[in-house]
């Protein structure tokens, strides 16, 4: 399984599309076997779900995401979990242990409109 986390350094970024990078974590038998950071290739409507699908990502753990983006990730067979926050390492470990505490989706806008979140 591969998990993508929109990140800013070692922490989960507030919005998946405007993060500086993605931390991609490869998991085998519930253990992290590989981790890499890749620069965000850009926030264009519909691009990131296809891009991450091409990297064989199965799950995205994000702080916030609009509904249109959630739908596009689901169409690309990527499970979406929103409301994640904190250190990437802690979020991944909590997700794998099935005890990830989630907050509200901090980006509850309609992605068809111009994005005005300040995060």
CATH number assigned to the domain comprising residue 53: 3.30.420.130
- Look at residue 41 in the predicted model and tell me its pLDDT: 93
67 found inside a domain: yes
**How does pLDDT run across 106-118, given as a tens digit for each residue?**
554 444 444 444 3
20 found inside a domain: yes
Helix residue ranges per DSSP H, the chain: 47-54, 67-75, 88-96
Nearby residues of 1 by Cβ (< 8 Å), 6 or more positions away: 26, 27, 28, 58, 59
Residue 75 belongs to domain spanning = 2-96
Nearby residues of 36 by Cβ (< 8 Å), 6 or more positions away: 23, 24
119 found inside a domain: no
- Look at residue 9 in the predicted model and tell me its pLDDT: 93
110 found inside a domain: no
Which stretches of the chain drop beneath a pLDDT of 70? 105-119
Element (H, E) at 59: strand 59-62
Under 8 Å between Cβ of 22 and 5? yes
105 found inside a domain: no
8 found inside a domain: yes
Eight-state DSSP code of residue 115? P
């Amino acid at each position: 399984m591969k998990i993508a986390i929109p990140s800013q350094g070692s922490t989960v970024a507030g919005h998946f599309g405007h993060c500086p990078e993605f931390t991609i974590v490869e998991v085998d038998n519930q253990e992290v076997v590989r981790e890499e950071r890749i620069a965000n290739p850009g926030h264009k409507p519909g691009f990131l779900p296809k891009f991450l699908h091409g990297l064989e990502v199965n799950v995205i753990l994000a702080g916030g995401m609009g509904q249109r983006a959630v739908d596009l990730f689901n169409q690309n067979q990527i499970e979406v979990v929103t409301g994640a926050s904190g250190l990437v390492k802690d979020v991944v470990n909590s997700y794998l242990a099935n005890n990830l505490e989630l907050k509200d989706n901090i980006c509850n806008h309609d992605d068809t409109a111009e994005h005005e979140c300040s995060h």
